Amino acid sequence: MSWNKVAVVGAGMTKFGELFDKSWEHLLAEAFLEALGSVDKGMNRSDINAIYYGTTMGSLMGMELPGGNIVSTLLGLTGIPSTRIENGCPTGSDTFRNAVLAVASGVYDVALAIGAEKMRDKSTSEGLLSLASAGHPILFRGGTAPANFAPQATRHMYEFGTSKEQLAMVAVKNHHNSTFNPKAHFRFEVTIDDVLNSAPVCTPLKLLDCCPQTDGAAAVIVCRADLADRYSNKPVYAAGFGVGTDYSLWHEKESFTEFAATRKAAKQAYAMAGIGPREIDLAEVHDCFTITEILTSEDVGFCGKGEGGRFVETGKSSLTGQTPINPSGGLLSKGHPMGATGLAQLSELYWQLREEAGGRQCAIRNGFALQHNVGATGIGTSVINILTIDR
């Protein structure tokens, strides 16, 4: 395949947390202004040719049929092309991918990829548990978010001996990482015992095995690679991406010890970037629950099948490890405002590749970083973006 290179020249995100005093619109504006302001050599708002925005909860939070103009208006960019992207939990990643495709096509020079979510305009139980009555009225009844990942944990523990302690280690690592991230929802350390003693949510997952409900927004600005020098001193580039899809009903799934969608997305992304897992310096992956990071480390090839527990246990995914995973604190500790998550992960990779990540900076050896989300109905959609910087 051949495609026009696309550069990432700006990134920004709001603080993630329970932001009761900030509206969805306010969060989007804040993220946009930070991203715009982050461009090294400056950028005029009028340089933006198209907006892609991601938000998933729209109609669960009183925003029915959200159209593109809602966001162009609130960003002061009324008139330009604006499109809502939605693809489950990978919404933010796919928003970015669509912006990249738009610029790679040659139709637009500069595009904005932005996402936001208000998860906390409803009580925790009402918001979190509203999923229990979504989907097929019988086949998905009672299917809360943790119930979509816990069966994989049970089976992985059964087949490979992955322990609840190893699951807890993911939470310990990511909470530690977020103490270096002023934007994170949570910024406190936890111990393995803290995790194991926390309230059971959906066996084998306990409260601290689960990400919180978070409000937040993030934005990334992309442009044609041949225009990057106009804006950036150290442009980052989109190296490749992939979208994997797996069967959408639980009884159709072939394996409960991996996410087939992630494996497919990874294959596509690596092929497009012309690299393999060993070239990845660090990754931001979808740790909505501790088990998800463990499975993902196997699914994207950082370790072998069944080895995910040992991978985190032996420190390979720590900030100083072989392949740091979730230096930002991950969804577990940084938070998971669904439409923003992928874009916040991409912002983290942008800062990491440019070596601007402060106390959580990871070693950049090859100049490649991977961003991953998995989710949607039946946890059957995964989007992976690989970013790179010239070394």
Partner 1 sequence: MLRTGIVSLASYIPATRIRAAEIAKFWGGGGSGEHAVCGSDEDVVTMAVAAAEKLLQRSGIAASAIDLLCLATVSGPYAEQPASNVVALAIGAREDVLTADHGGSPRAATTALLDCLGAIESGRARLGLVICSDYRIAEPGSELERTLGAGAVALLVGQEGVSVGIEETTNVTDLFVDRWREDGGEFVKEYDPRFHRQHGFGDLVGRAVVGVCEKAKLSLGDAARVVMAQPHRGYLDCAKALKINSDQLGGTDVLKRFGDLGTASAFMALGQLEGTHADDRVILVNYGAGGADAFVLRKLKPGRLEAADETAAKYLTYDQLVKNNQLMRKEYVIPPLSVPPISPYLWRSRRELLQLVGGKCRACGTVNFPQSLRKICIKCGGVKFTEVKLSRTGKIHTFCVNHYMPDGFDVPLPFIVADMDDGSRYASLGSGVDSHAIQIGDSVRLELRKYSAERGVSTYGYKFVPDV
Residues noted as catalytic: 89, 336
Q: Which is nearer to partner 1, 1 or 138 (CB)?
A: 138
Three-state DSSP class for residue 274: coil
Tokens in use for 111? Answer: 């595009």
DSSP annotation string for 99-141: HHHHHHTTS-SEEEEEEEE--TTS-HHHHHHGGGG-SSTTTTT
Least Å distance, CB 253 to partner 1, is: 8
Least Å distance, CB 142 to partner 1, is: 5
Least Å distance, CB 149 to partner 1, is: 8
Q: Which is nearer to partner 1, 251 or 391 (CB)?
A: 251
Binding positions for partner 1, rule: CB under 8 A? 125-126, 129-130, 132-144, 146-147, 150-155, 158, 199-205, 247, 249-253, 256
If residue 11 lies in a helix (H) or strand (E), which one and from where to where? strand 6-13
What is the C-alpha separation between 33 and 55, in angstroms, rounded? 18
Q: Which is nearer to partner 1, 40 or 121 (CB)?
A: 121
Least Å distance, CB 259 to partner 1, is: 14
The neighbour count for residue 248, using CB atoms within 10 Å, is: 15
Least Å distance, CB 264 to partner 1, is: 15
Q: Which is nearer to partner 1, 5 or 155 (CB)?
A: 155
Least Å distance, CB 148 to partner 1, is: 9
Q: What is the number of alpha carbons within 13 Å of residue 353 lying toward its C-beta? A: 33
Least Å distance, CB 173 to partner 1, is: 23
Least Å distance, CB 130 to partner 1, is: 7
| Whole-Å CA distances, 148 to 140, 169, 306, 336 | 10, 21, 19, 16
Tokens in use for 349? Answer: 């990779």
Q: What crossing angle do the helices spanning 290-299 and 260-273 adopt, rounded to 10°?
A: 50
Q: Which is nearer to partner 1, 144 or 361 (CB)?
A: 144
What is the C-alpha separation between 241 and 385, in angstroms, rounded? 4
Angle (CA) 319 324 326, round 5°: 90
Q: Which is nearer to partner 1, 127 or 321 (CB)?
A: 127
The neighbour count for residue 84, using CB atoms within 10 Å, is: 21
Question: Is the backbone peptide bond immediately before 204 cis, with ω within 30 degrees of 0?
Answer: yes
Give yes or no for a contact between 96 and 343, defined as CB atoms under 8 angstroms apart. yes
**In sequence order, which residues have a C-beta less than 8 Å from that of residue 1 and are 6 or more positions away?**
272
Q: Which is nearer to partner 1, 3 or 158 (CB)?
A: 158
Give yes or no for a contact between 61 and 30, defined as CB atoms under 8 angstroms apart. no
Q: Which residues pair with 190 in a beta bridge?
A: none
Q: Which is nearer to partner 1, 152 or 388 (CB)?
A: 152
What is the C-alpha separation between 383 and 101, in angstroms, rounded? 14
Give just the sign of the alpha carbon dihedral 110, 341, 355, 358.
Answer: positive
